[in-house]
């Protein structure tokens, strides 16, 4: 056993600031993506906020998302949108690019950053596949 307190991924990567920057980078890509842009509302302010709060909570941050919006219910919230493999692949490519571009906490060693990026990308791969609702 270690005397070191357990650190969440949320804390390790830089907290809310990291996830806000990650989501901003992602939505900046979405804004120019012909396949993804039509899926989102004209004003991306709320999707940016909701996505950031969800990811913060998922990775060990505050429960603000659930406090404000209830259980995430990702499949239910995404059901109105046609999400096939092309949309999933475009979404995942945009999020992977954002993960690669947004710097993590300067206190996280390079090996730790690689582990964190692997965890994030693994989650995004799994979650985006689970959202497919159209052949």
Q: In which band, very low, low, confident or very high, does the pLDDT at 2 lie, cut at 50, 70 and 90?
A: low
Rounded average pLDDT over 20-40: 97
Q: The domain containing residue 55 runs over which residues?
A: 9-130
**Residue 4 in domain:** no
Structural domain contains residue 47: yes
> What spatial distance separates the first Cα and last Cα of the chain, rounded to whole Å?
48
Task: For residue 18, give the CATH number of its domain.
Answer: 1.10.490.10
Q: Which residues are within 8 A (CB) of 89 and not within 5 positions of it... i.e. 6 or more apart?
A: none
Give the angle subtended at the CA of 57 by the CAs of 89 and 85, to the nearest 5°.
Answer: 10
Looking at per-residue confidence, does 1 or 61 come out higher? Answer: 61
* 1 pLDDT tier (thresholds 50, 70, 90): low
Residue 3 pLDDT more than 80?
Answer: no
Helix segments in 1-135, DSSP class H: 9-13, 15-31, 45-58, 64-69, 74-78, 85-101, 110-130
Residue 42 inside a domain? The answer is: yes
Any domain includes 26 = yes
**Domain assignment present for 3:** no
> Considering its fold, how many domains does the chain have in total?
1
2 assigned to some structural domain: no
For residue range 51-110, list pLDDT tens digits in order. Answer: 999 999 999 999 999 999 999 898 888 888 889 999 999 999 999 999 999 999 988 999
122, exposed or middle or buried, with CB in 10 Å at 0-12, 13-18, 19+? exposed
Question: Residue 42: its pLDDT value, please?
Answer: 96
> For residues 82 and 107, is the Cβ–Cβ distance under 8 A?
no
Query: In this predicted model, what pLDDT tens digit does every residue of 100-133 receive, in sequence order?
Result: 999 999 889 999 999 999 999 999 999 999 999 9
pLDDT at 46: 96
Residue 89 belongs to some domain of the structure: yes
């Amino acid at each position: 056993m270690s005397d070191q307190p357990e650190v969440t991924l949320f804390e390790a990567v830089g907290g809310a600031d990291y996830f806000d920057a990650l989501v901003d980078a992602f939505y900046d890509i979405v804004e120019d993506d012909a396949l993804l842009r039509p899926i989102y509302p004209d004003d991306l302010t709320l999707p940016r906020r909701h996505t950031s709060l969800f990811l913060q909570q998922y990775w060990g941050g505050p429960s603000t998302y659930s406090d404000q919006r209830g259980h995430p219910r990702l499949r239910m919230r995404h059901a109105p949108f046609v999400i096939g493999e092309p949309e999933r692949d475009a979404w995942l490519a945009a999020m992977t690019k954002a993960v690669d571009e947004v710097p993590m906490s300067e206190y996280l060693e390079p090996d730790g950053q690689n582990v964190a990026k692997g965890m994030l990308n693994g989650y995004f791969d799994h979650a985006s596949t689970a959202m497919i609702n159209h052949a």
